[in-house]
């Protein structure tokens, strides 16, 4: 068999293996994620979030379901915040660890964010799913400290009124990004 045919076969096999690992990592954690699967935010969306949510140096940012850690890294680089991410998908967790290896102020925790305590957070970032948001609103209401800000990508927090809704300038990635402030955003008539 010619060498180039072998090289093509190896490349196809490699791609298939990566795809299989990606799918398996998503399926294996489905009971926890409930459909909020690993789908990283586009760079333009991360930038839009950071442009509109300035953070003081040393503030604490949580990304609940941090994927490959891109939001954590971008926020820590731009604002010198402490950025903590929770991730249950083993592949995403590994990518987040690698991505943030050189960032001392970033911590990626392997595990379920429902078990995390959000009381210390100054900013909570999430890109989850509507079904998950219904449950998340209860946790946020019970744990957030006054003044904490929340950013939710694509899906609003049910019953809360955003302080701002952002639409990134992108034909592909222009879905809304909702910003909130606790507790103002969740008061009736807010």
Ligand X SMILES: C[S@@+](CC[C@H](N)C(=O)[O-])C[C@H]1O[C@@H](n2cnc3c(N)ncnc32)[C@H](O)[C@@H]1O
- Quick one: which segment of 12-20, 65-73, 136-144, 163-171 binds ligand X (CB under 6 A)? 65-73
- Quick one: which segment of 7-15, 29-37, 51-59, 134-142 binds ligand X (CB under 6 A)? 29-37
Given 36, 81, 123, 148, the residue binding ligand X (CB under 6 A):
36
Q: Token pair for residue 25?
A: 């990592």
Binding positions for ligand X, 114-133, rule CB under 6 A: 114, 127
What is the distance between the terminal CA atoms of the chain, rounded to a whole angstrom? 70
Q: Which residue has the closest beta carbon to ligand X?
A: 65
Strands in 8-100 per DSSP E: 60-64, 82-87
Across the beta sheet with 82-87, the strand order is 106-110, 82-87, 60-64, 123-126, 149-153, 177-181, 164-166
96 counts as binding ligand X under rule CB under 6 A: no
- 3-state secondary structure at position 49: helix
Q: Token pair for residue 93?
A: 């967790």
33 counts as binding ligand X under rule CB under 6 A: yes
70 counts as binding ligand X under rule CB under 6 A: yes
What residues line the site for ligand X (CB under 6 A)?
29, 32-33, 36-41, 63, 65-67, 70-71, 86-89, 92, 112-114, 127
């Amino acid at each position: 068999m010619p060498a180039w045919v072998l090289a093509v076969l190896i490349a196809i096999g490699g791609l298939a293996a990566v795809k299989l690992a990606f799918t398996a990592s998503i399926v294996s954690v489905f009971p926890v994620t409930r459909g909020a699967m690993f789908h990283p935010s586009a760079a333009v969306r991360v930038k839009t979030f950071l442009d509109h949510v300035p953070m003081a140096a040393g503030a604490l940012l949580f990304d609940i379901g941090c994927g490959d850690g891109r939001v954590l890294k971008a926020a820590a680089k731009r604002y010198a915040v402490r950025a903590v991410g929770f991730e249950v998908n083993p592949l995403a967790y590994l990518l987040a660890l690698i991505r943030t290896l050189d960032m001392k102020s970033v911590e990626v925790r392997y595990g379920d964010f429902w078990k995390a305590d959000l009381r210390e957070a100054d900013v909570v970032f999430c890109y989850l799913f509507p079904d998950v948001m219904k449950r998340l609103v209860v946790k946020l209401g019970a744990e957030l400290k006054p003044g904490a800000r929340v950013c939710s990508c694509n899906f609003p927090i049910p019953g809360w009124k955003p302080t701002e809704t952002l639409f990134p300038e992108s034909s592909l990635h222009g879905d809304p990004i909702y910003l909130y402030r606790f507790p103002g955003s969740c008061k009736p008539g807010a």
